[in-house]
A and B are shown apart, each in its own frame.
Chain A
Amino acid sequence: MHKHREHITPIQLASIIISTMLGVSMLAFSKFVVDGSGSGSPLASLVGAIIAFIGLLAVVLLGKRFPKKTIIGYNETILGKPLGRFINVLIILFFAILMGLETRQFAEVVAGALLPNTPIQITISMMILLCAAASLQNVATFAYIHFFYMPLILLPITIVLISAFWDIETYHLFPIIGHNSSFKEFMSGGLVVTQAILNFFVISMVIPFMKDPKKCIKSGIFGFWIGSFFVVVIVIMSLGVFGEEEMKQMFWPTLVLGRMIQVPLEILARIDALLLISWIYGVFTTLLSYYFVFVRGIGELFRFRHDRIISLVGFPVTFIIAIFPQDIYQMYDFILQVTFYGIFLTVFYPVLLLVVAKIRNKGGVSV
């Protein structure tokens, strides 16, 4: 009845992580992983996931240490106002840019696979509008949205992966550490995975709205590994089915996997378009998380409580970022660059923050 009852449960937190992690990049990222580390990709993705996991651990520990504050709040507490605010601006900027670029990526996939004749501007504005409308709601609704869409995202992915299982050629997967790949090459593939899943960071904005923020550690780890499991399996399946050389030729290996599915009973001839619907759900939940960080972050940073106005202003901002890249190649360049720097912000920075908090003895039970 009251607001205090509309808390986020641990399961909802886990679902926020899962459906945020599985998003736009799921169609494309496996290509970039294989580009980097070849047949060593499965192992590299696992390493990449573990790197991201370090960041997640830092974020949930910080969440436990500051159960009433979001990252925007405890940044200022730990680092002092000027420096904290500077980092906050960086975080918000990072998610705004990521939002724009990933929306563009979404629009490119839609133009390539669903609607070749529709201008990408329309697709971009539809998606941003959807996110803006949903971000007006309170945090509980944000969690409900993620919880509701999660099965709609996981189920089709599972179907695709299981049906792809029979087409795996095992020789594509060996040797497991890659053909004479250097450590640098190996890691460059692994870091792509870290870049693809660093959006788990949004939970740092959600943890203080939990009923018992101390439970965030368990559910955060739980959700992270379910999401990572799917990410790693997508890499294994697409590599196993297509092999290293073939994958370098295609942009969206996961979509091609979906095209290979045959439906029994001949209800529909091909279902890749239907799988794209479920992927659109995944895209929406991911982009909604970015937009949520953007809107809530600005609101908290500037103590500005009119979310509607921020959402409205965010629309042209993200739209301009989205149409900025010239073409799809430039777009992927941008995405890889931005998310590469994002690793510092979302993985190394929280660890650093945790250490500083311990040294300066900030947070803990008393705060």
Chain B
Amino acid sequence: MIFRKKHIKNENQKGKWPLNDARDSLNNRKLKKGINDNVADVKNIFQNDSDFISRKFQLCGTITAEALFISTIVDTDKINRDIIRPLQEKRQDPITDFTPLTLDKKQERRKKDFLQWLLDDVLYHCAGETAEEMQSVINALLRGKTVIFIDGAEEALLLDTYKPEKRGIEQPETERVVRGPREGFIEQIQTNIYLLRYRLPVPEFRVEPMVAGNATKTKISVCYLDNLASKELVNEVKRRVNDICIDRILDAGYIEQLIQDNPRSPFPQIQNTERPDKAVGNLLEGRVVILVDGSPFALIVPAIFNQFYHTSEDYNDRWLVASLVRIIRFVALIFALTFSSFYITILSFHPELIPAKFVVAASSGRAGVPFPVVVEVLVMEVSMEILREATVRMPQQVGGALSIVGVLVIGQAAVMAGFVSPITVVIIAMSTIGSFATPSYNAATAFRMLRFPLIILSGMFGLLGLSVGLMFIINHMLSLRSFGIPYLAPVSPGNLQGFKDSVIRAPLRWLKERPAQLHPQDVTRVASGVKKGSANTLQDNEGGKSDA
């Protein structure tokens, strides 16, 4: 296997969540018969938490029962309407002689039947089950279930009444599009699954539940199409998610870092998206999408470098326009990485490259600048990064003021003060804007940070330093794998079909195959592009006339 073993679960469970005393004593214990004992045990754990509620009532008017729930995460209306009310109603019990005191084998079975009868005939509620162990009762309570203890029964009823607070579906903040759906993922995993299911009404769509994080017990869903995604890939994803051993998963970013192939690389090897349409598009290419409860970002694995300058909009526009935009984005990415260091190289090592007409402008602009070009560029790049970071963190009301300060100080005043040359400002602006043109924020950040070593290298060794630095970066990218897939595919290793959807985006009808490097089970994406039939029935229609 190429996969390196990363987060191997500790055999002795070192990172296990420590239990407090009250809970430690209840571990692996079955429920008792007496209702008061059970309630007391639970109350001993939750003590006097303000949102822990217990309510006593008479089941069918005769048997003592108690409902326990945590009021902040449940739907209290539902409890009143669908649980307590039907249970309290006096009805003709088919197992009439159920009493807690007379117990023989026959009645033992009847008692079980009684609980089943409650679930089947009495309760209007759809998600209900029974539990025997204290441990599962407590876990259920914390997951928003209502627990009902019945006097004399050794089992408890668990009824799902979970109701989380959630925001509405809004337009995603990070990947805005001009043309395309406006829906974005939100924090609730159920809503996110809905957003995928709504676009993929096929029975092959799998949503496998998993849990990670000893304390947060975060719900994770591994989604894929089981007739497309390669079995090996799906198993590998599940294995890696399963192997995660950490106390918290607060965002999809945790999962991303814990399951990626090379954690030391500056490049993201897993794509994240806020857009359900993008996630579905990737599912249909045979990739796997990981949803994490509490995070509005879905993870897409495996991810190759090309994906990071693609947007979902590319597929919605006509191919020629989309291809040109992609090329521009790619050029912007190259600009962001190399423009400033190339400028340093030319100015301080190879002035013979500057065309004769431009030499005067280049040198007169730098006349009063006290620093060498490297220092000048480095200072400007760092201040640009500071400006960017400040803009992200600032409250929106002050953001305007910041941009004015930035423009005035960095653009105008620095040049007038003779601190930097005007050409440097132009170069820095181009490389900064170039990095903002990349749709994926994490890939753009990687490139922005990598230009600092390039600046230093080219300041020291000119073109040699620049090209050696670039080679280091390219070699590293060539050696990267994302879930076993070469990062620079389909460029190297080459793949002609894959190349149609890389720097350019060929017409949809030409994209006949799913990406080969993903080894999908079914390769064909487009059979013939158009449905068969006469080519164009409107062709001979002379303006407005119709045969019908």
Asked if A pairs with B, the answer is yes
Residues of A within 8 A of B (CB): 1-3, 5-6, 9, 11-12, 110, 114-115, 118, 122-123, 126-127, 130, 133-134, 137, 140-141, 143-145, 147-148, 266-271, 273-274, 276-277, 280-281, 284
B236 contacts A by Cβ under 8 Å? yes
The answer on a CB contact under 8 Å between B471 and A130 is yes
Quote the shortest CB–CB distance from A118 to chain B (angstroms).
6
Quote the shortest CB–CB distance from B355 to chain A (angstroms).
5
The answer on a CB contact under 8 Å between B463 and A148 is no
B352 contacts A by Cβ under 8 Å? yes
**A137 CA / B476 CA spacing, docked (Å):** 9
The answer on a CB contact under 8 Å between B483 and A1 is yes
Quote the shortest CB–CB distance from B120 to chain A (angstroms).
47
B327 contacts A by Cβ under 8 Å? no
Q: Among A2, A145, A281, which residue has its beta carbon within 8 angstroms of that of B1? A: A2
The answer on a CB contact under 8 Å between A114 and B492 is no
B474 contacts A by Cβ under 8 Å? yes
The answer on a CB contact under 8 Å between B479 and A114 is no
Q: A1-B483, A284-B471 are in contact. Are A11 and B494 (CB under 8 A)?
A: yes
Q: Hey, which chain A residues are within 8 Å of B1, CB to CB?
A: 2-3
The answer on a CB contact under 8 Å between B492 and A133 is no
The answer on a CB contact under 8 Å between A270 and B493 is no
Quote the shortest CB–CB distance from B464 to chain A (angstroms).
6
A-B complex: 9 closest residue pairs judged by Cβ atoms: A148-B492, A1-B232, A1-B484, A137-B479, A144-B492, A141-B479, A147-B492, A269-B355, A144-B478
Q: Interface centre among B350, B462, B466, by most A CB within 10 Å?
A: B350
Q: A1-B230, A1-B233, A280-B464 are in contact. Are A270 and B478 (CB under 8 A)?
A: no
Q: Among A6, A12, A118, which residue has its beta carbon within 8 angstroms of that of B2? A: A6
Residue of A nearest to B468 (CB): A126
The answer on a CB contact under 8 Å between A115 and B479 is no
Q: Hey, which chain A residues are within 8 Å of B2, CB to CB?
A: 1-3, 6
The answer on a CB contact under 8 Å between B467 and A281 is yes
The answer on a CB contact under 8 Å between A1 and B352 is no
Q: Hey, which chain B residues are within 8 Å of A122, CB to CB?
A: 461
The answer on a CB contact under 8 Å between B488 and A277 is no
**A143 CA / B232 CA spacing, docked (Å):** 24
Q: Hey, which chain A residues are within 8 Å of B356, CB to CB?
A: 269
**A314 CA / B104 CA spacing, docked (Å):** 83
Residue of A nearest to B236 (CB): A1
Interface size class of B (residues with CB under 8 A): 35 or more
Q: A115-B462, A266-B357, A269-B356 are in contact. Are A277 and B479 (CB under 8 A)?
A: no
Q: Hey, which chain B residues are within 8 Å of A137, CB to CB?
A: 475, 478-479
Residue of A nearest to B1 (CB): A2
**A127 CA / B479 CA spacing, docked (Å):** 18
Known: A133-B472, A145-B475, A274-B353. 19 other contacts (CB 8 A): A2-B484, A3-B1, A5-B484, A9-B493, A114-B349, A114-B462, A115-B462, A123-B461, A130-B475, A141-B478, A144-B486, A145-B478, A147-B492, A148-B474, A148-B488, A268-B355, A269-B356, A273-B463, A277-B467
**A12 CA / B355 CA spacing, docked (Å):** 39
Interface string of B351-374 (1 = CB under 8 A from A): 011111100000000000000000
The answer on a CB contact under 8 Å between A114 and B478 is no
Q: With contacts defined as CB atoms under 8 Å apart, how many contacts are there between chain A and chain B in the complex? A: 105
Q: Hey, which chain A residues are within 8 Å of B466, CB to CB?
A: 277
Quote the shortest CB–CB distance from B267 to chain A (angstroms).
15
Q: Could you name 25 residue pairs across A and B whose Cβ atoms are closer than 8 Å?
A: A1-B2, A1-B230, A1-B485, A2-B1, A3-B1, A9-B493, A11-B494, A12-B493, A110-B464, A114-B462, A114-B463, A115-B461, A133-B475, A144-B479, A144-B486, A145-B475, A147-B493, A148-B474, A148-B478, A148-B491, A267-B355, A270-B352, A274-B353, A277-B466, A281-B471
Quote the shortest CB–CB distance from B374 to chain A (angstroms).
15
**A352 CA / B491 CA spacing, docked (Å):** 39
Interface string of B216-236 (1 = CB under 8 A from A): 000000000000001011001
**A11 CA / B466 CA spacing, docked (Å):** 29
Residue of A nearest to B517 (CB): A5
Q: Hey, which chain B residues are within 8 Å of A267, CB to CB?
A: 355
Q: Hey, which chain B residues are within 8 Å of A148, CB to CB?
A: 474, 478, 488, 491-492
**A12 CA / B486 CA spacing, docked (Å):** 14
Quote the shortest CB–CB distance from A110 to chain B (angstroms).
6
Contacting residues of chain B (197-251) with chain A, CB-CB under 8 angstroms: 230, 232-233, 236
Contacting residues of chain B (323-357) with chain A, CB-CB under 8 angstroms: 349-350, 352-357
The answer on a CB contact under 8 Å between B488 and A144 is yes
Q: Hey, which chain A residues are within 8 Å of B471, CB to CB?
A: 130, 280-281, 284
The answer on a CB contact under 8 Å between A147 and B494 is yes
The answer on a CB contact under 8 Å between B488 and A269 is no
Q: Hey, which chain B residues are within 8 Å of A2, CB to CB?
A: 1-2, 232, 484
Quote the shortest CB–CB distance from A215 to chain B (angstroms).
15
The answer on a CB contact under 8 Å between A144 and B464 is no
The answer on a CB contact under 8 Å between A273 and B233 is no
Q: Hey, which chain A residues are within 8 Å of B462, CB to CB?
A: 114-115
Q: Among A9, A126, A266, which residue has its beta carbon within 8 angstroms of that of B464? A: A126
Q: Among A9, A11, A266, which residue has its beta carbon within 8 angstroms of that of B355? A: A266
The answer on a CB contact under 8 Å between B353 and A268 is yes
Contacting residues of chain B (462-507) with chain A, CB-CB under 8 angstroms: 462-468, 471-472, 474-475, 478-479, 483-486, 488, 491-494
Residue of B nearest to A266 (CB): B355
The answer on a CB contact under 8 Å between B494 and A134 is no
